[in-house]
Chain A
Amino acid sequence: MTTASDPVPVDPRLLEILVCPVSKGRLTYDRERNELVSPQAGLAFPIRDGIPIMLPDEARQIG
């Protein structure tokens, strides 16, 4: 499920092709948080109104 604050799901056709802008590696979709996670770069990219925000500056640092 998507979170209540951001109910618009990201376009699955876009999800299929996106890669991490930093590592160019694969992304995983965290439905719970509505984020695109790049394990290699340690970044989680937010999705706002169904639009992925693929800016390293606006990504959340993870582990």
Chain B
Amino acid sequence: MSDNNAVPPPPPPVRDEAATADFGYRAVPRGDKKRMVREVFDSVAGKYDVMNDLMSLGVHRVWKRIFVGALGARPRLRLLDLAGGTGDISFGWLRAGGGAAILSDINHAMLEVGHKRAVERGLVSGLRFLVADAEKLPLPDRSVDRVSMAFGLRNCTDKDAVLAEARRVLVPGGRFLCLEFSRVQVAALSPVYDAWSFGVLPRLGRLVAGDSDSYQYLAESIRTFPDQETLAGMMRRAGFGHVAVRNLSGGIAAIHSGWRL
């Protein structure tokens, strides 16, 4: 991937990995990232769905539909939807005939939006709402059949802890699926995508949500997230088997999946 245009450079390599976490392109004290990410989502919660449509030109709906299909919903299966926010994945799961779903997010404001949308759609009875940190899940070992995380992992401070927790709560034979922005695999797409995410995105954020900083963070956090192979390796190290990657829209997003064997 060439980087010969106006895109801000990736974070400098000189930083204390143990003491800091990436917050977009900035390195922030590790203990602060959680609060800072929460502030971003407190700020954007009310406009989150509208912004997603604008930012992705509606494509996120297609990605989520493919992702829900990959979850393989069945009536007896229990889903833990991490970073489930405003509910798209849980709703898709229930509509596809999935069993009880726990809609979990670290951010109460996002879940409130999710709850309201679930009421509007008549889907509340299949859902349980939970505020939890994906790094420290309040669920017993081997208690769910599917763990999903759509556009959540890159906002977590300790991604290895999240993967370990996801595996812990899965039953043997259960699956973890992650939908996340990834590394564009089609060279011709890169400059267009860069111009979009760093030129247009923050401006859209300011116009629609009155908050360009939060959307600047979102654009940057996408670029600092591990690429396809790196994340697949992290999943294998966390103990997942049969790890597979499926690129969406030329790798702008990807679905990673793995089994607890």
Contact = CB atoms under 8 A, between A and B. Distances in A.
B108 A17 contact: no
A55 B105 CA distance: 11
Contacts of A57: 34
Interface residues of A, number: 22
Given A51-B129, A51-B130, A21 B136 contact: yes
Interface in A1-39: 11, 13-14, 17-22, 24, 27
B102 interface: yes
A23 to B, nearest CB: 10
Interface stretch (B18-26, B138-146, B236-244): B138-146
Contacts of B143: 17
A4 to B, nearest CB: 20
Interface of A: 11, 13-14, 17-22, 24, 27, 45, 48-57
15 contacts: A14-B128, A14-B130, A17-B139, A18-B138, A19-B140, A21-B132, A22-B136, A27-B138, A49-B112, A52-B138, A53-B131, A54-B133, A54-B138, A55-B131, A56-B136
Given A14-B130, A21-B136, A45-B138, 16 more contacts: A13-B100, A17-B140, A18-B138, A19-B138, A19-B139, A21-B133, A27-B138, A50-B129, A51-B111, A51-B115, A51-B129, A53-B108, A54-B131, A55-B131, A55-B133, A56-B133
